[in-house]
Structure 1
Amino acid sequence: MVQLLGEFDCKLDAKGRLMVPSSLKKQLPNVEQEGLVINRGFEKHLVIYPKKVWEGIVEDLSKLNPYEKKTREFIRYFTRGATELTLDATGRVNLPKSLLESVGISINTELVLACQFDKIEVWSKSAYEALFDQEPEDFAMLAEEVMGNKNRGEDGK
């Protein structure tokens, strides 16, 4: 499994290209051969997946029941705009204009690439910083709610 770490400040150039930071690129050793996939996130950001990770997601989606309306809607919205990315010779990727516009990112915008396990979230720097302005007052309580029952059995013991 891919384990990506770090937060990286970047900037889109005038053509909508993003230079992949060298320390991030080192964490993606076969990226030139395998490629990447970019898609919308659940909030106002984009998500970049290594191609193999995306293929696993698509495999999971293909196992869902296509006769259920909510399933079809979810798959439609989740995959809408998904695009393969390839690095050019200088380590840049061209981000699709339609995806950038959909999350309010414009050309020459400062970005944050925030790694989470096997994906990279792409945020405008201002939106990313605003996220943490809304950090819960009691982060320990949130951790307890999310992770507190992790080691308990199904019966709660």
Structure 2
Amino acid sequence: MIQLLGEFDCKLDAKGRLMVPSSLKKQLPNVEADGLVINRGFEKHLVIYPKKVWEGIVSELSKLNQYEKKTREFIRFFTRGATELNVDAAGRVLLPKSLMEFAGIEGEVVLACQFDKIEVWSKAAYDSLLDNEPENFANLAEEVMGGKNRRDEDGA
């Protein structure tokens, strides 16, 4: 399983190309050959997946019951705009204009790694998101993770 780490401030060039930071590129072995997929996020941001991770997601989606309306709607909206990205010889990827418009991305972006994907935020939106950190992050952590019994997970 891929485990991506880091947060990177980047600038797009005039053509909407993003230079993949070298320390991030090192975490993506064979990215030139395997490729990437970019898609809309659940909030107003984009998500970049290594191609193999995206293929796993599509495999999961294909197992859902497509006779159910909610399933079809979810698949339709989740995959809307999904586009393959190719890393050029200079280490750049061209972000699709329609996706950039969706996320309000111009000029400056933040790449925020989460497990096996990379969120792409406009710098202003990301800064605003972090400015609205929950008043008590410890309470949020307990609410989200508190029910987990670490001993059971560790086999103790």
Q: What TM-score comes out, normalization by structure 2 length?
A: 0.95
Q: Distance in 2 between matches of 1:50 and 1:151?
A: 31
Q: Which portions of structure 1, spanning 4 or more consecutive aligned residues, are displaced by more than 4 angstroms?
A: none
1:65-84 deviation digits (Å, cap 9, x = unpaired): 10110100000000000000
User: What is the aligned partner in structure 2 of residue 119 from structure 1?
Assistant: 117
1:17-44 deviation digits (Å, cap 9, x = unpaired): 0000000000001101100000000001
**After the TM superposition, which residues 50-129 of structure 1 pair with which residues of structure 2 at under 5 Å, given as runs?**
50-106=50-106, 109-129=107-127
1:91-132 deviation digits (Å, cap 9, x = unpaired): 0000000110111112xx111000000000000111001001
User: What is the aligned partner in structure 2 of residue 20 from structure 1?
Assistant: 20
Q: Distance in 2 between matches of 1:68 and 1:151?
A: 35
User: What is the aligned partner in structure 1 of residue 48 from structure 2?
Assistant: 48
The amino acid of 1:129's aligned partner reads: D
Deviation at 1:142, TM superposition (A): 0.2
For the pair 1:151 / 2:149, whether they are aligned, the reply is yes
Deviation at 1:85, TM superposition (A): 0.3
Q: Which structure's residues are more often helix, by fraction?
A: 2
Deviation at 1:149, TM superposition (A): 0.5
User: What is the aligned partner in structure 2 of residue 136 from structure 1?
Assistant: 134
CA RMSD of aligned residues (A): 1.0
Q: What SS does the corresponding residue of 1:5 show, helix, strand or coil?
A: coil
The amino acid of 2:35's aligned partner reads: G
For the pair 1:7 / 2:7, whether they are aligned, the reply is yes
The amino acid of 2:126's aligned partner reads: Y
1:52-75 deviation digits (Å, cap 9, x = unpaired): 000000000001110110100000
Q: Distance in 1 between matches of 2:28 and 2:103?
A: 25
Q: What SS does the corresponding residue of 1:27 show, helix, strand or coil?
A: coil
In structure 1, the gaps of 5 or more residues are: none
Percent identity between the aligned chains? Answer: 83
Q: Kindly tell me the number of residue pairs found equivalent between the two proteins.
A: 151
